[in-house]
Amino acid sequence: MVPVLTVQEAGKQLKSLWQEEGSLGFIPTMGALHEGHMSLIRRSVNENQFTAVSIFVNPTQFNEKHDFDHYPRNLETDLETMASFPIDLVFAPGSSEIYPEPDTRVFDFGGLDKTMEGLHRPGHFNGVAQVVSKLFDIIRPDRAYFGEKDFQQLAVIRALVRQLDIPVEIIACPIIREADGLAMSSRNKLLTAGQRTAATGVSKALFRARDLAGTLPVDKLQEKIIHLLNKHPLVEVEYFKIVDRENLQQVSDWSEAGAKIGCIAAQIGKVRLIDNINISS
């Protein structure tokens, strides 16, 4: 599989696919592929005649230089991981292809981008919206596949597609976990052995929250989970919030209508992990 490195070449290769009967599925990634990514790719291959994957570590969505500089990158290994899949295009552009000039667009997604990740990673979702809108423009997929692991991102992308009237169907895919519960993430590769053990506490805390839902007030449950997880010397919780699955606003009482989700972000050494779980009381 030979990756396509330029926008022009991607357009050339996609032209024939756009003209053919059949749908094009697209999976945008930042590489360092794992089973979570592969579940999205598998689904696209099953549901579409054609599948395109992008691998691009997007600088505009990183709010910390250290995180961007250390983000795992290995195109060769990624190509090997995808080799047995019938993928029609792997688009792996450099930064200057996506941003020939600085992207000055500023997005506003109402409340969706102003809580949780939006508060803790200023500019993050603006960068996500910039790159995803550009990638949709280049690839012009019929369907695009995103993981519920990044639940808030999914909500932001649905809002982006509505705002810009982009003719693409957004497909949400479930979180893939390691055997011990840790949500798969490219950043897991950066954990030391001790940190990796500590990281299982994050999903365990979510499972605990799910089990305790309804047994104590929402704010008390949030505090309890944060307190429990912070007891581990290697873990520092940034937030744990139980929010409405649709609008991502804080739930204040279990009796509120609407499906709920518990979202967490925790720092383990220099590695920042996020995860979430459906909560029904």
Distance CA 218, CA 245 (A): 15
Cβ closest to ligand AMP, residue 143 vs residue 149: 149
Residue 274 as a binder of ligand AMP (CB under 6 A): the answer is: no
Using CB under 6 A, which residues numbered 203 to 232 contact ligand AMP?
none
Cβ closest to ligand AMP, residue 148 vs residue 222: 148
* # of chain residues touching ligand AMP (CB under 6 A): 17
Cβ closest to ligand AMP, residue 44 vs residue 222: 44
Residue 93 as a binder of ligand AMP (CB under 6 A): the answer is: no
Residue among 215, 218, 177, 210 at smallest CA distance from 277: 210
Q: C-beta of 144: minimal distance to ligand AMP in Å?
A: 9
Residue 149 as a binder of ligand AMP (CB under 6 A): the answer is: yes
Residue whose CB is nearest to ligand AMP in the complex, by number: 147
Residues whose CB falls within 8 Å of the CB of residue 258, separated by 6 or more in sequence, listed in order = 244, 245, 246
Residue 26 as a binder of ligand AMP (CB under 6 A): the answer is: no
**Count of H-run helices and E-run strands, the chain:** 10, 8
Using the contact rule CB under 6 A, the part of the chain among 5-13, 32-40, 131-139, 241-249 near ligand AMP is 32-40
Per the residue annotation, which of 37, 66, 120, 227 is the catalytic one? 37
Question: Cα–Cα distances in Å, from 102 out to 76, 107, 248?
Answer: 28, 15, 30
Residue 277 as a binder of ligand AMP (CB under 6 A): the answer is: no
Cβ closest to ligand AMP, residue 79 vs residue 184: 184
Using the contact rule CB under 6 A, the part of the chain among 33-41, 64-72, 78-86, 159-167 near ligand AMP is 33-41
Residue among 66, 68, 37 at smallest CA distance from 54: 37
Residue 152 burial by CB count (10 A; 0-12/13-18/19+): exposed, middle or buried?
buried
Q: Name the β-bridge partners of 29.
A: 55
Residues whose CB falls within 8 Å of the CB of residue 35, separated by 6 or more in sequence, listed in order = 176, 184
Cβ closest to ligand AMP, residue 29 vs residue 115: 29
Residue 30 as a binder of ligand AMP (CB under 6 A): the answer is: yes
Provide the token pair at 74: 């290995």
Question: Cα–Cα distances in Å, from 271 out to 11, 61, 64, 186?
Answer: 36, 16, 11, 11
66 catalytic? Reply is no
Which residues are identified as catalytic? 37
Binding site for ligand AMP (CB under 6 A): 29-30, 36-37, 39-40, 146-147, 149-150, 173, 175-176, 183-186
